[in-house]
Amino acid sequence: MMTGMQAAASPLRTLAHGLRQRGRVTWRVLQLGAMVILLALSPSSWRAPWRRPLAVQLVRAALPLLPWFTLLAAILSLVIIRIVLVTAQSYGLSQYALEMVVRVLVLELIPLTAAFAVAVRVTVPMAAELAQARQVGRLERVRAQGADPLRTEIAPRALAGIFCVLLLAAVSSLVALVLAYVLAHGFTPFAFERYTRLVGQVFNPVVSLVFVLKTGALALAVSVVPIGAALHAREAGLAGLELQGLVRMFMVVLAIEVAGLAGNHF
């Protein structure tokens, strides 16, 4: 009898334990996000001695990624712009093609692509580094030496991820806007005024606000969620941690996208 009840209670307990663990990690991740934002906004982080680790992580994250991601975004934009322009022309709707290109590429695709690229190339490896450091006790050693691992190790990496997403999104959006102009009008300056007007129509205040909020939220999510998961999850095993971080990050990104779409279109 007792064993049957224990057997029945065991999955429930496991589920409750899992939910508690998940809630704890989520709370820690939110805390980490808030602390990273606070540190980014406090001027002391941008002064010595904290400036140096931040600068190192920024350069390490952004510099190798910037050229090839710009190239990738340019190729992707080129293909999509060409497809949209040709398709719209074949349906006789070419007057709406450019607006659609700007909306689809700049507002939707490029921030998402930049966020995923940074996640895959920057923040998930950084989270793995931190998880390893945590495993081998290096963070504890730093703390024992009297330093704060949040300021020396964690926040610079998260801030580097945020900065990287914003930089990549800005550069690729600019590239996409230029490519759209060139593909639609050719190398002529005379369509600039009309193109500018179209861009102005697309970026109305609501859409601009949603775009800025969405890009910021994506940057924060892909930077903080994997690092937070790596630091606070209990399970051992780097591969499992990475996977967990990726899944969490994917869920958060999905939620942000849904919220962004709702903000833009409802």
User: Least distance from C-beta 143 to other proteins, angstroms?
Assistant: 10
Site for other proteins contains 167 (CB under 8 A): yes
Site for other proteins contains 63 (CB under 8 A): yes
Tell me the C-alpha distance between 73 and 109, whole Å. 10
Site for other proteins contains 138 (CB under 8 A): yes
**Residue with Cβ nearer other proteins (88 or 225):** 88
In this chain, which of 203, 250, 259, 264 binds other proteins, going by CB under 8 A? 203
In this chain, which of 86, 148, 237, 262 binds other proteins, going by CB under 8 A? 148
Site for other proteins contains 54 (CB under 8 A): yes
Site for other proteins contains 230 (CB under 8 A): no
**Residue with Cβ nearer other proteins (69 or 163):** 163
Site for other proteins contains 55 (CB under 8 A): yes
User: Least distance from C-beta 157 to other proteins, angstroms?
Assistant: 11
User: Least distance from C-beta 25 to other proteins, angstroms?
Assistant: 21
In this chain, which of 45, 77, 152, 244 binds other proteins, going by CB under 8 A? 152
* Sequence-separated (6 or more) residues with CB below 8 Å from residue 131: 230, 231, 238, 241, 242
Number of residues that bind other proteins (CB under 8 A): 41
Residue 113 · residue 73 · CB < 8 Å: yes
Residue 226 · residue 123 · CB < 8 Å: yes
User: Least distance from C-beta 4 to other proteins, angstroms?
Assistant: 50
In this chain, which of 76, 100, 174, 238 binds other proteins, going by CB under 8 A? 174
Site for other proteins contains 31 (CB under 8 A): no
Helical axes 238-265 vs 110-118, angle rounded to 10°: 170
User: Least distance from C-beta 260 to other proteins, angstroms?
Assistant: 18
Residue 130 · residue 106 · CB < 8 Å: no
Task: Provide the binding-site residues for other proteins, judged by CB under 8 A.
Answer: 35, 38, 49, 51-56, 58-59, 62-63, 93, 95-96, 138, 141-142, 145-148, 152-153, 163, 166-167, 170-171, 173-174, 194, 196-197, 199-201, 203-204, 208
